Amino acid sequence: MQLKPIERIEKPTVEEFQYEFVMQDKPVIISGVANEWPACYLWKPEAFKSMFGDVRVPVRQSDNEIDVFFGKSTALTEISIADYIDSIESLNTDSQRPSYLGNLSLTSPQAQEYFEKLKLHFDFPNYFPDNNGIDIRIWMGAANQKSTIHNDPDHNFNAQIFGKKVFLLFAPEEYKNLYVKKIDDELWSSPIDPQQPNLEMFPLFNETNGLEAVLNVGDILFIPAFWWHQALSLSTTININMWLYTNKIFKFWEQHSAFSCNCTKAEN
Ligand SMILES: O=C(O)CCC(=O)C(=O)O
């Protein structure tokens, strides 16, 4: 795998952002925006514990998505936020991985009460004025939590609120080198662990070209729709992401539907 560092841009205007990144289908880290959000100094694990400690949330039993998508631990369990935060602080060892509080919707009807409180603390700029809607999610995890390499059918902004995370990104056409498999109608994932790739099993992975994006507090990563990406937490982390629904995505999907047909379905 060959990795190049991702570009950074400071506080782009909507026009700059659309022209230089959306139209060129290019990921980028935006700085100078989220670092001004109250979330970046208010959202710490201990503060979440005192604000929402009793709230019960679904967590994945493993914080390694390869286990979730390609192994046996697919089930979600429920836990209070206070117990979850205690667990990520005490069980954070290589031998006993904690669960993962990832992909928790803030825009679902059940989360409305919490969204009302938290929405005052962040403000994603409207880089897609023609969007048809948004979906906002929270991700909280321990050091070494990792996702699979996967893609999403919508443009995504992922902001680093607490701790440090590194994302690897691969262009949509890299799917052949990633051996992606269909997980469900909206999700394709790679069984390769990019930090410890099994090159005997997945030799083409050696030829993959990608970008590395190290996110510090206050950085926002733009992941264009269909770009493959993988996240690895370098410390305890809190992230918030926003997917945007746009009509252009459907056009992209029609043009690129060939690649989805080449993906094989995961057998689990
Ligand atoms: O942080 C993670 O675990 C994954 C985040 C992600 O995949 C996303 O924002 O689309």
User: What are the Cα distances from residue 169, in Å, to 59, 126, 257?
Assistant: 25, 23, 20
Range of the domain at 97: 2-265
Residue nearest to atom 1 of ligand 1 (CA): 231
Ligand 1: atom nearest CA of 147 is 3
The pLDDT tens digits for 157-198 are 999 999 999 999 999 999 999 999 988 877 889 999 999 999
Domain count, the chain: 1
Nearest CA to ligand 1 atom 6: 231
- Local confidence band at 256 (pLDDT 50, 70, 90 cut-offs): low
pTM of the model: 0.92
- pLDDT band for position 207 (cuts 50, 70, 90): very high
DSSP bridge pairs for 231: 167
Phi-psi region of 203 (alpha: psi -120 to 50; beta: other; left: phi over 0): alpha
User: Whose Cα sits closest to atom 2 in ligand 1?
Assistant: 231
User: Is the pLDDT confidence value at 16 over 80?
Assistant: yes
Residue 206 is predicted with a pLDDT of 97
Closest atom, ligand 1, to C-alpha of 137: 9
| Six-digit token string for 190 | 């790679």
Q: What is the pLDDT of residue 265?
A: 46
Question: Bridge partners of 134?
Answer: 244
Question: Strand order in 220-223's β-sheet?
Answer: 8-10, 28-31, 220-223, 155-162, 237-244, 134-141, 101-105
Pick the more confident residue, 262 or 169.
Answer: 169
Q: What pLDDT, on a 0 to 100 scale, did the predictor assign at position 246?
A: 84
- 254 pLDDT tier (thresholds 50, 70, 90): low
| Rounded Cα gap, residues 55 and 40, in angstroms | 22
CATH code, 185? 2.60.120.650
Cα–Cα dist 82/101, whole Å: 12
Q: What whole-number distance in Å separates Cα of residue 79 and Cα of residue 85? A: 10
Instruction: Tell me what pLDDT residue 53 has.
Output: 95
- What the block records as the tokens of 139 is 């991700």
- pLDDT band, residue 99 (cuts 50/70/90): confident
Over the stretch 38-64, which tens digit does the pLDDT of each residue have?
999 999 999 999 999 999 999 888 888
Ligand 1 neighbours by CB, cut-off 6 Å: 102, 139, 147, 152, 156, 158, 229, 231, 239, 241
Centre of ligand 1 to C-alpha 151, Å, is 9
Count of CB atoms within 10 A of residue 95's CB? 5
Q: Is the C-alpha dihedral spanning 193, 197, 199, 203 positive or negative? A: positive
Whether the pLDDT of residue 229 is over 80: the answer is yes
Cα-to-centroid distance, 244 and ligand 1 (Å): 14
Report the mean per-residue pLDDT for the chain.
Answer: 89
